[in-house]
Every structure is written in C-alpha cells, then in structure tokens.
Amino acid sequence: MSSIAATQETTFEGAQDGVFVAEQMWPIRYQLYLVFVALAVGGWMGLGQALERVGVSMESFAGLESYYQGLSIHGVTLALVFTFSFANSLCSLLTIRGFGRPMASTMLLQGSFWTMLAGLVLGAIILLMNQATVLFTFYTPMEANPLFYLAAVFLVVSTWLTLANIIWTYRQWRADNPDERIPLVAFTTLTTYIMWGLASIGIAVEVVFFVLPWSLGIWDNTDPQLNRIFFWFTGHAIVYFWLLPAYISWYMCMPKQVGARLFSDGLTRMTFVLFLLFSIPTGLHHQYTDPGISATMKSIHLVLTFVIFFPSLITAFSIMAALESGGRARGGKGLFGWIFALPWGNPSVSAQLLAMLVFTLGGATGLINASMTVNLVVHNTAFIPGHFHLTVGTAVALTIMGVSYWFVPFMSGKKLFQPKLALAQGWLWALGVLTFSRGQISGGLEAMPRRTAIGEAAYELPGWELSNWLTAIGGVTMAVSGALFFLVIVGTLFLSKEPTEITEIPVGDEPVHGPKESWAFFDRIGQLTVIAVVLIIFAYLPTLISYLPATFESPGVKVW
C-alpha cells in the first residue's frame, strides 16, 4: 500500500514541500473507495425497490427476507456511509490544500478510515442477517441487534475524528499565522464539520444513553417520542452535512473547472456561517404531526427552516454568477448563450451542472415540506422520497460522481477511463431521477404511503399505476447510470494505462471580491459556535423541558 502511495506522492502538487504526504494520502484515497462500495450496495437495493413497484419482489430480486430489509440496507449504506465517507475524504484533502500543510494528526486520519470501514462491515453483516430491519432512521420501539447501533457509533465517530483533525490543523495553522484570514477553502471545511459536530450530539445522546442500553437489555422499555426528538435534532442538520461537501465543490472547484472566478469571498463565508448557525434549530419540521410538542415550538422551527432556505438561495445566485462569467469568457453571448458555452463535454462539470439544475426542484419541494399546513398533505407519503432523491439523491450524489471524475484520477494518478461513458452517465442519472421523482411525487399527492411495499399493497388508488411505472422506469435508469459510474471508476483504477493530466486539485483561490472586502468577524469561529449553541438551546430546551419526565414504557418490537 505504502509503495503505491509513495510513487504517487510525486504526482501531488506541493509534494516537494511535504504538504501531501504518503501516509496521509492513502486513508483519504481508501475512504474515497468506501464511497463507491457503499454506492454499489445501496444502488443495488435501490434497483430492487424500483422493480418492486412493478411486481418483482425484493425476496426474489436479492434473496432478502423482506422489502424492508432491502430498504434498511439502502438507507444506511447511502445516507450514512456513502455521504459520510465522501465528506471525510474530500474535506480532509481540501483542508490540507487550504492550510497548505499536512493534517495535524496522521493517526486521526487513518483512524477515521478504519472506523468508517468497521462501521460499514459491521452494519452490513447485521443488516444482511436481517437483524436490523429498522430503516435508516431506526425509530424505536422497532429494535435492532445492539451491534447495529454500535456500527452507527463507528460511522459517527469516524466523522468526529475528521472533525478533531480539522480543528487541530486549524489551530496549528493559526498559531503560525495569527493575523491572517482563514484560507477560504479551509474555512468551508472547518465550518461544515463544526456544524456537524454540534448536530451529531442529538444522535449520540439517543444511541448512547437510550437505544444502545435498551437494545442490550439493560432497560426493558424505551420512550419512542423522546428518541425521535433527539433523532431529528440531528436528522435535519445531517442533510446539510451531506449537502455542504457538494457546495464546497460548487463554490471552490466548479468556478475553476469552468474557467471562471468565484464571485465573492465574503458571500461564501456568510453562507457557511448561516449553515453553522441555523442548520440545527429546525429539526421539528420533521415532527409537525407528532403529538406532545407545542405548536409554538413547531412554528419557531418552521420560521427557522425558512431562514436556512436562504443560504441555498444565495448559493444559487452566486454560483450562477460564476458560471455565467465562465460561459461568457468562453465566448457565450446573449441571455442564455453562456449556458451552452460552458464545458459540458467535461464529465466532471456536466454532472455537477445537472446536479444543480435538479436541485432547484429539490429546493422547491423542500419549501412544500416545510410549510406546516401543506406538510400535512405530503408527510409520510411517497412525495418525501420524491423530494430527497432530488436533493441527497442528486444534488449530492451526482455531485459526488462528478467530483470523483477528477478526484479518482488525481488520487490514483491514472487517466479517466472512457470519459464519454462518464458523460452519458451524468445525463442518464438526471433523466432517471426526474422520472423517478415525478413518479414518487405524483404518487404521494395521490396518498401513496412512503416506506411501503406498494407491490404487495392490499389496495390501489387510481393514479398509482402511472406513479409506479414512472418510479420503476426512473429507478432502473438511475441503476444503469450507477453501473456506468462504477464501470468508469473501476476501469480508471484497473484498466487505464495512461497517466492522468489532473495533477492539481481544481480549487480557485482568487474570488472577484477577495477576503479583504469581507468581514473579519466571520473568522471568529469560536464565537460563532457559541451563538449556534445558544440558538439550539433556545429552539430545543422548551420542548425537552415540557416533555420531561420521559415515560419509558414501550417494549421493543421486531417487525421483520
């Protein structure tokens, strides 16, 4: 392993300065490969779910015990492993690139890889044994084998090790550079991980204090509603932990990739600061229909959800500005000509442009979910998977694929295999997801429940048939696209003979409006974190106080 990495070291920019060192590169590289393993397993289950809509049972498709076993594998591998390992991998690399120094601790970096691997392997074994058919939200009183919760602990600890390493690296850098602005790309990784550090407290409390002891038999009963409050404390912010690595690519890499400059350093810092402050105090928008939580607190979370919508709107305009300047610099004219002048022939760029376009619909459906009264129509219906395949399933997943088209060549030193296939892959995914989500959204509006083996439903409403077919066709298209992606990546690693021309991380360091024009206050990360904590206390303490004392009365149930 080290010999491969050692020969590669020469291909990394700045290798001469000892910035990208071999023992730090392999955990980043292998964590990236876990992204692909998780995608392959989860994507395979996704195909089964799509086919279930048109009469192919999950049992016959994958030899599983039930549809719900497949759905649990799908959710855990994609929502937790695929996204987390990508965040760890890309953000570690960009932290090194941003601060221009190795990560503070090689041990933490390697530890992050090993704990992610342990979580994936352990989780996969328990899920395949049908001992954790509790879906990725593991709502109690559904009960899994304790080792499943331990696997979840490993996955989260892996992200914490990366968090600790990023903060440590920042502090080392700060000690050497007391008066400088935090380099922008490092600022984005730092704020993303601090946000997640705060957000993950909810799930940590839920698992360590309530669910794990209960599943171990230390306590007989649990309190499902209390567990849900802690789950959604993390559960909304987690979507921004999935999204922000994609945003980091859109802000920091895409302008460079299209031959443009980022619009504004200050606006970028402000966007990430807003995510740090407002991602967490919004979790109750997943619990509008839950009893025992006051309408006032739900309404406060509703308003804050509209606040956290705002940095994504900023992102839309500011990325569009960068893209437009790139398109015009490439000769695009007129109102829309710049769009066609963008480098659509570059698979890394086109996948991410498509991810952005699809995300506009993801954002619109998010607003529908967030509006409390309208939420009553869509909650727990197929509309919700329609929404989140436009967001995490495309804005994030297709961006991860697009980034992989430079990241894998960069890390392996090999030229991208069959770029034309890669190009087709991005388009297929976008077309597939638009069809799939159209099916799910219309099904949801026709009262089709989510998380249900519709193929086995005892009744069918008019309109479901079309929804099922669109879901199935879209899902199969996405699976074909996923297979092409895999082919390109595996081909790059094992069949590609030529060296890659990508020897630099595509990060743009010179925004049109640079750091001198932005508030130094944004860099006071410690103070901003304190403000974030105060907001969280304000948004959650009243609910927790009104809820106590909790009632531990529910025994566990195994429904599979």
As annotated, the active-site residues are 236, 240, 387-389, 450-451
Contact between 236 and Cu ion by CB under 5 A: the answer reads yes
- Per-residue burial over 44-63, b = 16 or more CB atoms within 10 Å of its CB, e = otherwise: bbbbbbbbbbbebbbeebee
Report the residue from 316, 480, 483, 493 that binds ligand HAS according to the rule CB under 6 A.
316
- From the list 381, 395, 391, the residue with the least C-alpha distance to 449 is 381
Nearer to Cu ion, 251 or 288 (CB): 288
Contact 363, 312 (CB under 8 A): yes
Binding mask 385-424 for ligand HAS (x = CB under 6 A): --xx--xx---x----------------------------
Interface segment toward Cu ion; rule CB under 5 A; list 109-117, 234-242, 347-355, 406-414: 234-242
Contact between 267 and ligand HAS by CB under 6 A: the answer reads no
**Residue indicated by tokens 């876990």:** 34
Contact between 314 and ligand HAS by CB under 6 A: the answer reads no
Contact between 322 and ligand HAS by CB under 6 A: the answer reads no
Phi, psi of 344 (to 5 degrees): -65, -20
Q: What residues numbered 13-32 form the site for ligand HAS, per CB under 6 A?
A: none
Partner whose footprint covers residue 387, from ligand HAS, Cu ion, none (CB < 5 to 8 Å by kind): ligand HAS
537 CB-near residues (< 8 Å, 6+ apart) = none
Contact between 128 and ligand HAS by CB under 6 A: the answer reads no
- Tell the smallest beta-carbon distance from residue 258 to ligand HAS (Å): 10
Nearer to ligand HAS, 87 or 323 (CB): 323
Contact between 297 and ligand HAS by CB under 6 A: the answer reads no
Give the Cα separation of 341 and 338 in Å (integer).
Answer: 5
- From the list 26, 1, 171, 184, the residue with the least C-alpha distance to 93 is 26
Partner whose footprint covers residue 357, from ligand HAS, Cu ion, none (CB < 5 to 8 Å by kind): ligand HAS
Six token digits for residue 533: 């904590």
Contact between 137 and ligand HAS by CB under 6 A: the answer reads yes
Long-range contacts of 348-351 (CB under 8 A, 24+ apart): 348/257, 348/402, 348/403, 348/405, 348/406, 349/254, 349/257, 349/258, 349/402, 350/402, 350/423, 350/426, 350/427, 351/398, 351/399, 351/401, 351/402, 351/405, 351/422, 351/425, 351/426, 351/429
Nearer to Cu ion, 101 or 236 (CB): 236
Partner whose footprint covers residue 313, from ligand HAS, Cu ion, none (CB < 5 to 8 Å by kind): ligand HAS
Report the residue from 88, 162, 264, 315 that binds ligand HAS according to the rule CB under 6 A.
315
Contact between 387 and Cu ion by CB under 5 A: the answer reads no
Nearer to ligand HAS, 376 or 530 (CB): 376
Number of residues that bind Cu ion (CB under 5 A): 1
Report the residue from 35, 58, 199, 319 that binds ligand HAS according to the rule CB under 6 A.
319
Contact 92, 26 (CB under 8 A): no
Interface segment toward ligand HAS; rule CB under 6 A; list 38-46, 194-202, 253-261, 368-376: 368-376
Phi, psi of 513 (to 5 degrees): -105, 110
DSSP character at residue 556: P
Number of residues that bind ligand HAS (CB under 6 A): 35
- Tell the smallest beta-carbon distance from residue 99 to Cu ion (Å): 32
Cα distances (Å, whole numbers) of residue 297 to 175, 182, 283, 409, 464: 42, 36, 11, 48, 36
Partner whose footprint covers residue 67, from ligand HAS, Cu ion, none (CB < 5 to 8 Å by kind): none
Strands (E), 217-296: 221-222
Give the Cα separation of 412 and 37 in Å (integer).
Answer: 17
The vertex-461 CA angle with 456 and 463, nearest 5°, equals 110
- From the list 258, 38, 12, 67, the residue with the least C-alpha distance to 155 is 38
Q: Site residues (CB under 5 A) for Cu ion?
A: 236
Residues that bind ligand HAS (CB under 6 A): 137, 239, 242-243, 285-286, 305, 308-309, 312-313, 315-316, 319-320, 323, 339, 353, 356-357, 359-360, 363, 366-367, 369-370, 375, 379, 384, 387-388, 391-392, 396
